[in-house]
A and B are shown apart, each in its own frame.
Chain A
Amino acid sequence: MMEPLISLNIRGHRRDFEPGDVLAAEYQVDAIGDDQIQAIESSVLWYTEGKGDEDMAIHHFERRLPSDTEDGDMRVLHRFETTLPNTPLSYSGVIVKICWCIRVRVFFKGGQDIFFDQYFQLGSVASGRVYAS
């Protein structure tokens, strides 16, 4: 049996955004029956990475159920958009990094779930390594 496939794209094929820009994305799910999906969550979030414990915050969140669609088929292309905040900006530091991504998580009726992340850059801040050199 094939593994379900999540296709997630940022409209306009952009990777770089500025605060206040509208981030528009679309996703669809393939290689799975239309009655096997329990729910799909899409979120725009940032998290920290580095030598410390991870922190995370959700900027945009949407949860869809089969009842939210016309015919109960959640696999079809779905679009969403959100206006990006002023902070925190993407940052590649030495022991602290801040990453932004879009995450789509599909929950199946068997109890499992899979997710897919699409990274993007918010702002144009120099990396911490430039500072430190």
Chain B
Amino acid sequence: MIDFEKKLAAKTAFPRSATNPFSTRYTRPGSLAFRFAAKSSLEQLLTRLNQQGGWGQIVGPHGSGKSTLLATLCRSLNDHWRLVRFSLVSQQRRLPANWQSILHDRDADLVVVDGMEQLSIWSRKRLIQHCRRQGVGLLVTTHQKLRLPVLYQVQPSLKVTQEVVRELLVGQDDKCPSETELFRLYKRLGPNIRELLFALYDWYET
């Protein structure tokens, strides 16, 4: 037998390895509940959004949880608004060509855009003007502040990060990063929880 096969024979055949709790299926927006900072809650945000006529921006750096917050919000917004949601991928500078028809056909009263800063200035202006003319609300996520009322500024703290990790590792007390390890990761990666969770994926695999 070649070396590899000897190695294989020494281990259990067909190891049924446990799923990694930091896989993207458990960490991507919509999979995790958003954790609000102290003095904030989902109800407060919904009230504020209503008061602002459905207009607002969720601001925060890369990987801080903007899309996660949006996913949490949208679940409640669906009950009270007819919303249409656009999620922009990297380098997507325009909305779909037929976005106005989509809004019209669905009789939307709230437009949600995840990744507003990716749109070109011209596309942004067109969207904002259209929503103002039609009396439709506009809720967006963005890295830098735009000329929209701020709904929430996402800035995950170490405490929030610890809570997220604890939630993902529920039932796995024997495999948990120490407070020091977590603090070190948080210090290195800052508010980018996404990168931190990717780093924890690798940690878990070893």
Asked if A and B are interacting partners, one says yes
- What is the interface of chain A, defined by CB distance below 8 A to chain B? 16, 49-54, 92, 94-95, 97, 99, 121, 124-127, 129-131, 133
A53, B14: Cβ atoms closer than 8 Å? no
**Alpha-carbon separation in the docked complex, A16 to B4 (Å):** 23
- Please name all residues of chain A whose beta carbon is closer than 8 Å to the beta carbon of B205 when the two chains form the complex: 94-95, 129
Segment at the A interface, from B20-28, B57-65, B100-108:
B20-28
Given contacts A92-B17, A97-B19, is CB(A51)–CB(B24) below 8 Å? yes
> In the complex, how many angstroms separate the beta carbon of A113 from the nearest chain B beta carbon?
15
- Please name all residues of chain A whose beta carbon is closer than 8 Å to the beta carbon of B24 when the two chains form the complex: 49-54
The chain A residue sitting closest to B17, CB to CB, is: A92
**Alpha-carbon separation in the docked complex, A51 to B200 (Å):** 11
> In the complex, how many angstroms separate the beta carbon of B27 from the nearest chain A beta carbon?
10
Most chain A C-beta atoms within 10 Å of own C-beta, residue among B15, B23, B198: B23
- Please name all residues of chain A whose beta carbon is closer than 8 Å to the beta carbon of B19 when the two chains form the complex: 49, 97, 99
> In the complex, how many angstroms separate the beta carbon of A1 from the nearest chain B beta carbon?
21
Q: Mark B42-86, 1 if CB is under 8 A from A, else 0.
A: 000000000000000000000000000000000000000000000
- Please name all residues of chain B whose beta carbon is closer than 8 Å to the beta carbon of A127 when the two chains form the complex: 15, 17
Tier of interface size on chain B? 10 to 19
Given contacts A126-B8, A130-B8, A130-B11, is CB(A54)–CB(B17) below 8 Å? no
**Alpha-carbon separation in the docked complex, A133 to B11 (Å):** 11
- What is the interface of chain B, defined by CB distance below 8 A to chain A? 4, 7-8, 11, 13-17, 19-20, 23-25, 198, 201, 205
Q: List 27 A-B contacts (CB under 8 A).
A: A49-B19, A49-B23, A49-B25, A50-B20, A50-B24, A50-B201, A51-B23, A51-B24, A51-B198, A51-B201, A52-B24, A53-B24, A54-B25, A92-B17, A94-B205, A97-B19, A97-B20, A97-B23, A99-B19, A121-B16, A125-B14, A126-B11, A126-B14, A127-B17, A129-B17, A130-B7, A133-B7
> In the complex, how many angstroms separate the beta carbon of A89 from the nearest chain B beta carbon?
11
The chain B residue sitting closest to A47, CB to CB, is: B25
Pick from B7, B15, B23: contact of A50, CB below 8 A.
Answer: B23
**Alpha-carbon separation in the docked complex, A130 to B6 (Å):** 11
> In the complex, how many angstroms separate the beta carbon of A29 from the nearest chain B beta carbon?
26
Pick from B4, B14, B20: contact of A124, CB below 8 A.
Answer: B14
- Please name all residues of chain B whose beta carbon is closer than 8 Å to the beta carbon of A124 when the two chains form the complex: 13-14
- Please name all residues of chain A whose beta carbon is closer than 8 Å to the beta carbon of B7 when the two chains form the complex: 130, 133
Given contacts A129-B205, A130-B8, A133-B7, is CB(A92)–CB(B23) below 8 Å? no
Instruction: Name the 3 nearest CB pairs between A and B, nearest first.
Output: A92-B17, A49-B23, A124-B14
B20, A49: Cβ atoms closer than 8 Å? yes
> In the complex, how many angstroms separate the beta carbon of B103 from the nearest chain A beta carbon?
24
The chain A residue sitting closest to B22, CB to CB, is: A51
- Please name all residues of chain B whose beta carbon is closer than 8 Å to the beta carbon of A54 when the two chains form the complex: 24-25
- Please name all residues of chain A whose beta carbon is closer than 8 Å to the beta carbon of B15 when the two chains form the complex: 92, 127, 129-130
**Alpha-carbon separation in the docked complex, A129 to B14 (Å):** 12
